[in-house]
Amino acid sequence: MNKMPQKPNILQHKALSRILIYGAGIAANQVALALSKALESNIELVLVTPELPCLSDVLYGGVTSPESYDMNLKLNLSEPELFLNTNTSFSFGSHYQNWGPRKKNWVQCHHLPFPSDNPVDFHQLIKRHKAQLSDYLISAIAATEGKFAHPPAENPSSALSRAEYGYHFDHHQLNNLLTTKLKSTKIKVVKGSVVKVELDEDSIDTLTLESGETITADLYLDCSGINSDLLKHLSQAKTTFREVNVSYIEQKNDNVGNPCRTLSPLNDGWQAKTSLRGKNSILTVTSKVRDSLTNDTCLFVSNENGIHSDKVALGHQRQAWVGNCISLGHAACTIEPLTPAPMKLLGLDILRLLELIPVDTNMKLERQEYNRRFINDVTHAELFNKTFYDFRTTITDNNEKKTENVNQSLTSFWQYGMERSQLLDRKIIQFLHRGNLVSYDLEPFNQEDWAILHYGMGRSPERSDRLVEIIDYKKMQEKLDNMKAGILHLVSKMPPHSIYLSKFLQYLKDKY
């Protein structure tokens, strides 16, 4: 039996010398690459990776938000490398079709702050002039017309410079690329699954692999996926939002579609279609099957019909960092892939980890701050997701009897927003009252995200900001008309997503 050198007793508060990462999916590989770039060479990094792939990676939804560009750079992964080695495509956002009882349609696009050359927010002007916010979102218009171009950083006056983009990705291909990149690092990779976890009070002491090998470390990073194979030995049960059924399939498609996911409601759930180069991925989330095929929560199965699980618990750890073990990605929080929230939260996990890597084996203060920020992030990310199930559009909709009547017409899956929270009530009621965008500290989704979501769901303020009255109405109307016309003209000149991708890839091949 090959036993690696023992770690120091954590009670002696020795300097950190070895970090162990456990997992075989996107989270494990991203964390390993980020640490290998950020940490000094005197800290040994060990990646223990099971032979079987992490099937729950389908729950990342195959879509990222704009922050992924900078996160990839922290992994030493450039955009050219991503596109040359995977079938990734661009994403301006997600298109929600016939959503909710009012059958709303909108693109939840990525966008830089709206014009702010007036003393009031842009959406207040939209209210006064009875305009549609979507007419001024170039990324939303381009997405629905199937157009794409990189926002021009060198021309900030261009309307396209206000657009932002993320990526559509194939979880399997992305993971293979990350695994390949690990080969050029000093990370020690050990193949095998953990079969036994030995504890020392409230910390992990030793891991035993299926081969019989035992491994120790000062800090353990659980990136094992939704079952939290390491942290579950230290932590209480997760906080669960609800349980769902998940299925994932792929369909061959020679033509790349629009640069946005399309999400369509089902009677008891929803389905997302994501266009990649050469294929479409289809993710379906529905109510949990009553007569489950298995009693095992979160068991994913892969076969000729794709990847599926009939019992996925959506929720999060009450503490992501317990003792000397930190859970990241789905091991920490499994959030509904209704939005880019899953990849957004993984990125926040990694950034938080890089900021709070302990200096020695006394981790109390880092652990407290990490857990505080973790709960803050998952709470507000879930708040954003839950707003898609809250169908209030006027102040009078806040009446409990009226809300109950709406909810009675919905299946149990769509009644998820029925259970109210004070945090979400403040956001919706203040917006409906006079267009106030209530913000909490360090929210994962920004004010533009919230404004687009409110209008997409059909919400409109009952009253406008009084300051809007000091702005010359005629001049502002002319300005809005010119802005709208300019955006439409610019979109008409943009190339289709498929043609842009083809020329972009040829450029990259010629250059690299």
The CA distance from 63 to 169, in Å, is 6
pLDDT of residue 297 exceeding 80, the answer is no
pLDDT of residue 411 exceeding 70, the answer is yes
Q: Which CATH class is domain 10-87+170-237+318-379?
A: alpha beta
Both tokens of 142, joined, read 């381009």
Q: Count of residues for the chain?
A: 512
* Per-residue confidence (pLDDT) for residue 147, from 0 to 100: 98
Which residue in 479, 438, 396 sits closest to 126, CA to CA?
Answer: 479
**pLDDT, tens digit, for every residue of 63-104?**
999 999 999 999 999 999 999 999 999 999 999 999 999 999
**pLDDT, tens digit, for every residue of 318-334?**
999 999 999 999 999 99
* Per-residue confidence (pLDDT) for residue 119, from 0 to 100: 83
Both tokens of 495, joined, read 């190339």
* Per-residue confidence (pLDDT) for residue 12, from 0 to 100: 59
Q: What percent of the chain has pLDDT over 90?
A: 82
**pTM check: above 0.85:** yes
* Per-residue confidence (pLDDT) for residue 291, from 0 to 100: 54
Instruction: Give me the residue label for tokens 């990676």.
Output: 57
505 or 441, greater pLDDT: 505
* Per-residue confidence (pLDDT) for residue 290, from 0 to 100: 60
* Per-residue confidence (pLDDT) for residue 295, from 0 to 100: 46
**pLDDT, tens digit, for every residue of 417-430?**
888 889 999 999 99
The mean predicted confidence, pLDDT, of the chain is 92
The runs of H, that is alpha helices, within 357-472 are 364-386, 400-408, 422-434, 447-456
Q: Is 240 helix (H, G, I), strand (E, B) or coil?
A: strand
What is the arithmetic mean of pLDDT over 460-489? 92
The CA distance from 158 to 491, in Å, is 11
* Per-residue confidence (pLDDT) for residue 1, from 0 to 100: 45
* Per-residue confidence (pLDDT) for residue 157, from 0 to 100: 87
Angle formed at CA 406 by CA 405 and CA 409, multiple of 5 degrees: 95
Domain spans, the chain: 10-87+170-237+318-379
Longest Cα separation, the chain: 82
pLDDT of residue 59 exceeding 50, the answer is yes
pLDDT of residue 294 exceeding 70, the answer is no
* Per-residue confidence (pLDDT) for residue 232, from 0 to 100: 95
The CA distance from 358 to 465, in Å, is 47
Which residue in 44, 90, 47 sits closest to 66, CA to CA?
Answer: 90
The CA distance from 59 to 56, in Å, is 6
**pLDDT, tens digit, for every residue of 187-213?**
999 999 999 999 998 999 999 999 999
The CA distance from 168 to 287, in Å, is 25
Contact 243, 311 (CB under 8 A): yes
**pLDDT, tens digit, for every residue of 18-31?**
999 999 999 999 99
Which residue in 181, 231, 7, 190 sits closest to 81, CA to CA?
Answer: 181
Q: Is the dihedral of CA 475, 478, 484, 485 positive or negative?
A: negative
**pLDDT, tens digit, for every residue of 220-229?**
999 999 999 9
What residues form DSSP beta bridges with 251? Answer: 280
Cβ atoms within 10 A of the Cβ of 10, count? 20
Angle at which helix 364-386 crosses helix 447-456, to 10 degrees, equals 20
Residues 6+ apart with CB under 8 A from 237: none
Please provide the distance, in angstroms rounded to a whole number, between the alpha carbons at the two ends of the chain. Answer: 46
Integer angstrom CA distances of residue 202 from 14, 255, 418 = 18, 53, 38
* Per-residue confidence (pLDDT) for residue 469, from 0 to 100: 87
Backbone angles phi, psi at 98, to 5 degrees: 50, 45
* Per-residue confidence (pLDDT) for residue 406, from 0 to 100: 66
* Per-residue confidence (pLDDT) for residue 282, from 0 to 100: 98
What is the arithmetic mean of pLDDT over 463-481? 91
* Per-residue confidence (pLDDT) for residue 8, from 0 to 100: 45
Q: How crowded is the C-beta side of 276, counted as CA atoms within 13 Å? A: 24
Both tokens of 137, joined, read 């979102």
Q: What percent of the chain has pLDDT over 70?
A: 94
Angle formed at CA 214 by CA 213 and CA 220, multiple of 5 degrees: 130
pLDDT of residue 118 exceeding 90, the answer is no
What is the arithmetic mean of pLDDT over 389-394? 93
pLDDT of residue 335 exceeding 50, the answer is yes
